[in-house]
Structure 1
Amino acid sequence: MNTSDNPRALVLRTAGTNCDGETVRALEQAGAEVELLHLRRLIDDPSPLARSAVLVLPGGFSYGDDVAAGRVLGLELRHHLGAALGEFVAAGGFVLGICNGFQVLVESGLLDAPCDSDTAAESGPPRGPRRMALTDNASARFECRWVHLRSEASACPWLVPGEIWPVPVAHAEGRFTVADPQTLAALRAGGQLALTYVNPDGSPPDYPADPNGSAGHVAGVCDTTGRVLGLMPHPERNLQSWNHPQWTRLTGDRTSGEGLLFWQRLVRAAAALPIGS
């Protein structure tokens, strides 16, 4: 039971998860009360989810990325926890997937349809054809570097549209793809294209500023409610001012890393929810 006024966040780990420690640290630094829980424990007893305001799927290589990145864990979530996740999002809970967690959200179907009705809550994530995928980088290489993101006008309640901020990426299967331009336009019109790669001045990037060749330079996507967000970059790796490789040369009052503000806004938004506190 949460005995403080801070919102409760649940960080899920399983075989191959390797960013759970820094994710817990980011949430705690932003003011959340955090529980790190193994997938098997949550499957056996989903009640911690109902007591939380935020569920985070951290980065890593769940199950060694066998078959496809995030697919095994995504199918496990849909099969074992689909109804519980549907109820959680329908009640107002936030779900965040970072890097491998984003891949898991795509594979689970949670980003393809809202869970804001009784029907969605009962049935869990949709089981029809997916509108999006994350596949091999266009470079056919693992990409590890710092990039710039822009928060776009979207349904996500804790992102500030137009804001540009630096953040690291580290992935081999992060290229966002859709079936056709019409699908991309529909996602944009629905407020689902939450984050894009840009140059520092906000102009459209080429490689390597767009590290994977994503359609529309997309770096992060939310569902139509805005409560489920996935992104490939790692905001938990930019909490301190000195996390940036060029921190001694950067100008401005950088008392912390830009990624911390991302987590603080998430926690503030979660604190306003009627659940998880």
Structure 2
Amino acid sequence: MKGNVYFRRYWQLYALLVLPLAYFIVFKYGPMWGVQIAFKDFNFFQGITGSEWIGFDAFREVFRMDDFYRTLRNTIVLNLLDLLVSFPAPLILAILLYEMKVVWFKKLSQTILYVPHFISWVIIGGIVYQVTGVWQSAGWGTILYLAALTGINRELFEAAEVDGAGRMKRIWYITIPGMKTTIATLLIINLGNMITIGFDRPYVIGNVAVRDYSDVLSTFVYRIGMESGQYTLATVVGLFQAVVGLIFVLGANYASKKLTDESIM
């Protein structure tokens, strides 16, 4: 009964969920119907339902391919390097911006840092030919940490300053612990993406000369799926990424819960 009263009072909030839910149903859950292609000898003219079942034969073929293990290695190594550099970068930037006292310089810095997030990788690829994920993503991640920082009670900083705590001690004992939940959540999400990597960055910036190191699972899927027409094998690799990514998320969430008592589930 209380639930019905709450729904009638705040029905506008539930109405706002319609579009996000529709997006996930259409673009996230709907495409799951195509996962069965991984277990079929997919024929474009026969369609998904008309194609012949082959079980796990396609998985065996993929796991025998040298290119699969090469792109898997590149994906993990590049994501690991990206995590080591890109994850702390927005955290450090957020703390630096939060500590700034000159308002106009703070706003200017924020604007300059946010702009790269809205630039297409195609444009970035025309500017530079090296891995540039930190520059492209650090400013955007800073927004999340700044939002977390605004939730910290300013009286804690004032009390610490009265007690003689310097700026670094206030950052270490107040600022960073105050962002613990946000840090844990973003770390779990990033670890969940360890086995996946965006298609546009390696495709635009990579080339044949460095393919042994720039080719990743997403570009591998594109080559065997769109260029070679081996849709079954491409679906197998995509399903492999999804399953391993889920394992990473669950593992990272479990570890975070045990170590910091913070989790997303």
Q: TM-score scaled to structure 1, two decimals?
A: 0.21
Of Structure 1 and Structure 2, the greater helix share is in 2
Of Structure 1 and Structure 2, the greater strand share is in 1
